[in-house]
A and B are shown apart, each in its own frame.
Chain A
Amino acid sequence: EAQVTQNPRYLITVTGKKLTVTCSQNMNHEYMSWYRQDPGLGLRQIYYSMNVEVTDKGDVPEGYKVSRKEKRNFPLILESPSPNQTSLYFCASSPNVGTPYEQYFGPGTRLTVT
C-alpha cells in the first residue's frame, strides 16, 4: 500500500531533550516536507526537500533540523525542544518537484513538550 508513515504517533517529552520524528514514504517520491498544525494557524511548512541531500527552509524552520540521506526517509529533529513546539506534525511527500503538485500526508505525530 502506498503510504507515508510517521513514528511515533504520540510523544510527550521534556524541555531540552533531543528527539527525532521519523518519516518514510514508499512511493519513490522526490519531494518531502514537514508541517505543523496549530489551532487558528492552520498548517505551516517547516522544511522541505526536493531530493536526496537537498533541503530548504519553509515558513517556520526555527528550532528544527532535517536530513535527507535516502529518498524514502525525511526525519525531523528537535535538538532542544521547547513548549512552543508542542504541536501536531505532519510529513508529506509528492512525486513532482518542478511543478506544484498534490502532496500525500502521513497520519500525524502529536508532540507535547513540558
Chain B
Amino acid sequence: DGGITQSPKYLFRKEGQNVTLSCEQNLNHDAMYWYRQDPGQGLRLIYYSQIVNDFQKGDIAEGYSVSREKKESFPLTVTSAQKNPTAFYLCASSPRVKAGNTIYFGEGSWLTVV
C-alpha cells in the first residue's frame, strides 16, 4: 500500500542526546515536510524539502536538522540544542510544494525527553 511510514512510533531521549526520526514515503511525491504538534495546539512547520538535496527552514527550525539524499526519505534529527523537544512529530508529503496541493501525513512519532 502507498503511504508514509514514520518510525519509531515512541522514542525516549536523554538530555544532551541527538535522536533521529525516520520518514519514508512510497507515493513518489517530490515534496516532504516535518511538523511539530504540542498538546492541544496546532501544527508548526520545522523543515520542508521540494526536491532531493534541497530543503528549507520552516517556522521553528532551530535545534533541528534534516537531510534529503533520496526522494523517498526525509529523516529529522532532533539535536541537543532543541531545549524543549518533547512533542508529537508529523512527517508529510505532497506531489510538490504548490498552493492547493493536498498534504498527506504519516502516523506520527512521539518523542519524550527523560
Q: Do A and B come from one complex?
A: no
Binding site for B on A (CB under 8 A): none
